Structures are given as structure tokens and as C-alpha cells.
Amino acid sequence: MISCLSSSPNYLCDKIAFKKQRRGITRACIQRPRILPSATRDCFGLRVFVLSDLHTDYPENMAWVRSLSTKKHNKDVLVAGDVAEIYDNFVLTMSFLKERFEYVFYVPGNHDLWCRWERENLDSLEKLNKLLNACRQLGIEINPAVIDGFRIIPLFSWYHEACKDFHTCKWPGNLSNRDSSLALSFDAMNEKNQHTVKQIKRTCSQIIMFSHFVPRQELCPEKRMLFYPNLPKIIGSDWLEDRVRYIHGVEGELFAFWFHMFTEDNYGGRGNSCRYVQAPLAYPRERRRMNGGETWLPYCIYSDGDFCARISPCYWSDYYAANPRTPANTTCALGCQIL
């Protein structure tokens, strides 16, 4: 019988550490803008929904996945990433999603490759292969694909340096979280799809790329703004950014779906725009201090042959639209509680 992880020592340690970090801080209030559910009206064409950070080792997150309609999205595409730490929960979650969506795409996240609770003595690369084999058996897409003329490109990646994952991932001797070897190794996993990607570049102007990791430091708030100051250590990948730029050299509009921060950022030259979107369910405790997730996910970004024109309000993207970055300012800005 497959069961969900209800609690763990690490969860309690995280909770205690977070409370200690917040002690002594004068708490004002910043009201986050409410994120509206995407339009999910019936349509005759393809719809693309995005969803990440399911963390279904938490029973309430698994219950949320099970609550998704088995009829409402049955002809749609779901792009998912960072599912569960425990293998059995990963398989159960992906099975639920495949029952509810005609197509499901996946790329691994860091939590998927944690090895704390596995019955087998696997390292993180062996666990990755086990997860990808499970995806193949379930019919989950892990390679670039064209669906009804629309292109979706999963990008394997890893950050250049890590903090907590030092202790929760296990790597063979030639790979380390303390240098760029992991980022290079995961980026190399994309090489087998280069021919397909070249064909997509020649024939398509509407593409979704997605990865669990973030290609640019600019997609993260400045360090002084963060509840977790070590976050910039796991933000940014030169090789992932190079792949995004290579694929993005297509005339037309392109969507990219990433992880880590909730921000939408538009930049690029004329006719060459790139929008970054994140749609996390997140930990239960994270949802209590952000914009929920269960009320507006999965998020529809493409329907009726075009990307959704409306950009939802997001706290940090709205903030940086009105305020310049000031990286030379190192004064802590955590004198408030973000609701």
C-alpha cells in the first residue's frame, strides 16, 4: 500500500530554523496581489496548463492532486516538475495526473532526487534513471514533442552550487554539488534532443520550454529581500541560459516555465520576447505566506491557438516594474511579513 509522508525530522528542523530567522523582526504587512485563476472555459483546441512543486509527500498536497477533475482537463496538456521525494509517492502522483490529462510532461527537480527515505541504496543519478523509467512506463513525456502543431521542450538542468542538497542528494564520485560538474552533466542530457530542437526552431514560432531550475539571477529578488538569503546560490545556470537563448532565437512569441521565484519577466529585442512564468503548489507552510496555489492551479497559459494575453499580478515582478534593482544596497529589507 502506498502512503504519504506526514512529517519528518527535516521538516521540523526547517520550521524551527525559519522561526528563529524571523525572531526580533518588526512585522509590518505587505499585501500580495491576488492571483486570479486562469480562464478554463471549454475550447475546441489544445490547452496548456502549468504546474510545479507538487511536493506530494505532504498528504494535503496529494489530496489536492487527487481532487483535480478527471473530466475537465482530459484533452489538455499539463507541464509538471518537482513532484515528490519518495519514489512511491512520485509514481502515484504521476499516475493521478496521467488519468486527468491527456499529455503530461516532466523534468526532474532537486527534491525528486533526494535519497533520505528510499528503501533501496541508490545514489541520486540511479534514482533519476528509476524516475525516468517510471515515466516511460506511465506514458509521461520527458523529451521534446509536437502536439497539434504546438512545441514543448523539457530542459534538464541543475544549479552550479547548492546548500541543503549537499546532504540530501547522493552523487557518484565524479560529480559534486560544490562545483559545476552537476550543472554540466545535467545539461549534457539535453544533447540527445538537439536534432529535434533544431527542427522545432525551423518550423515553429510558439514554444514552451520548461525546467525546474532558473537560468538567470535577475529572476530572483535581491538577496536583501529574501526570507532565505542562500537562495541566490541555487539561482542561475550559464548552460541553461545558453540553451534558452539558442532556442529563443525564433521570430515570434515564446513562453518559458521555471521554478524558484514567483515572477514574470519580459525582456528581449523587438519581436523576440521571452516571458518567464512559475506556477508552484509549494509546501503547505509556503502557501500560507504566499498566494495560495490550490485556488488558481493548474494555470492555463495557452488556449485557442494562442498564449493567454493576461499576465497575472505577481508581487516581485510588479515591484521591479516600478523600482530599479540596487545590488549595492545590502541593508536587510525583511522588516515586514509578506502575506
pLDDT at 35 exceeding the cut of 60: no
Cell 490550490, residue located: 294
Binned at pLDDT 50, 70 and 90, residue 194 comes out as: very high
Q: What is the pLDDT of residues 260-270, one digit of tens each?
A: 333 333 332 22
Q: Residues with Cβ < 8 Å from 108, sequence gap 6 or more?
A: 81, 82, 128, 131, 132, 156, 212
Single-letter residue type at 331: T
C-alpha cell at 199: 527542427
Highest mean pLDDT among 292-296, 301-305, 309-313: 301-305
Binned at pLDDT 50, 70 and 90, residue 216 comes out as: confident
Question: How far apart, in Å, are the Cα atoms of 336 and each of 223, 229, 308?
Answer: 15, 15, 33
Q: What is the pLDDT of residues 45-66, one digit of tens each?
A: 788 888 899 999 999 999 999 9
The reported pLDDT for the residue numbered 255 is 54
pLDDT at 243 exceeding the cut of 80: yes
Binned at pLDDT 50, 70 and 90, residue 2 comes out as: very low
10 Å Cβ neighbour count for 30?
Answer: 10
Measured at the CA of 319, the angle between CA 298 and CA 222, to 5 degrees, comes to: 95
Average pLDDT over residues 234-249: 84
Angle between helices 59-67 and 87-100 in degrees, nearest 10 = 20
Binned at pLDDT 50, 70 and 90, residue 252 comes out as: very low
Percent of the chain topping pLDDT 90? 32
Single-letter residue type at 203: T
